[in-house]
Amino acid sequence: MTFDFLGGETLCIDKPLEWTSFDVVKRLRGVIQHRLHLKKLKVGHAGTLDPLATGVMIVVTGRSTKLIESLQAGVKEYVATLRLGATTPSFDLETEVDATYPTAHITREMAEETLAKFRGRIEQVPPKYSACKVDGTRAYDLARKGKEVELKPKVLVIDEIELLGFDPETPGLTIRVVCSKGTYIRALARDIGLALGSGAHLTALRRTRVGDVTLSDCLDIERAVELIRNAELILPEDNRDNTAQNQATESKL
């Protein structure tokens, strides 16, 4: 297998738990630069995943970074686990529980009926612990400093939302969501909790698809690193000498 990281490659990664999206990009870029003996190389990703989320992350290099916008526009699929009856400021496990609510009234049938209300076009207020910008500053930077953050609702589309599991003991839900770009599953968990007359926050999240890329197309980060270290590469001088190799290509790892 030969890779042309300057001409452009697309790497499909199963992002590890507690890694930021930047951590993944930094790790892969460092290995590629070392092999190519380059000080700089364009590497980006098509869609941020929170540190506490895992799953499909598309990384692009070289001229393929021009594809980021189109790749980000692809439909996303997630499997999420929600704990009912408790909320956190970040809507996930990044922050501690700040309030608890009754859950005895919630049944599986009620959960299914509630989820159905979220299908289609909805308005969603992003979490204050998010990368949205407020007067040029990331919302999560303001939130972590204890400052008030007011974000405007955004229109998005939930194509599919399905109840995979209901646990009255936890109590919790496991759901599958197919949605448009810009959907915050943490915020969806918050809104589902409210709609159930309780509270909720996210306890696990796995992105299972981005566009046509699924988990079966992805490598874990260390396998990807090993592949890059051992693969045949088109070197910078080859790119200068061969214009055909300069065209961006997409190769799924």
Tell me, what amino acid is at 103? T
Residue 180's Cβ-count burial label (10 Å; 0-12, 13-18, 19+) is middle
Are 56 and 218 a contacting pair, CB within 8 Å? yes
Picking from 71, 91, 75, 94, the residue whose alpha carbon sits closest to that of residue 83 is 91
Is 212 a known active-site residue? Answer: no
Picking from 149, 49, 157, the residue whose alpha carbon sits closest to that of residue 89 is 149
Which one of 50, 167, 191, 238 is the catalytic residue? 50
In order, the DSSP letters of the chain are -EE-TTT--EEEEEEPTT--HHHHHHHHHHHHHHHHT-S---EEESS---TTEEEEEEEEEGGGGGGHHHHHTS-EEEEEEEEESEE-TTSSTTS---EE---TT--HHHHHHHHHTTSEEEEEPPPSSSS-EETTEEHHHHHHTT-------EEEEEEEEEEEEEETTTTEEEEEEEE-TT--HHHHHHHHHHHTTS-EEEEEEEEEEETTEEGGG-EEHHHHHHHHHHSEE--HHHHHH-GGGGS------
Question: Which are the catalytic amino acids?
Answer: 50
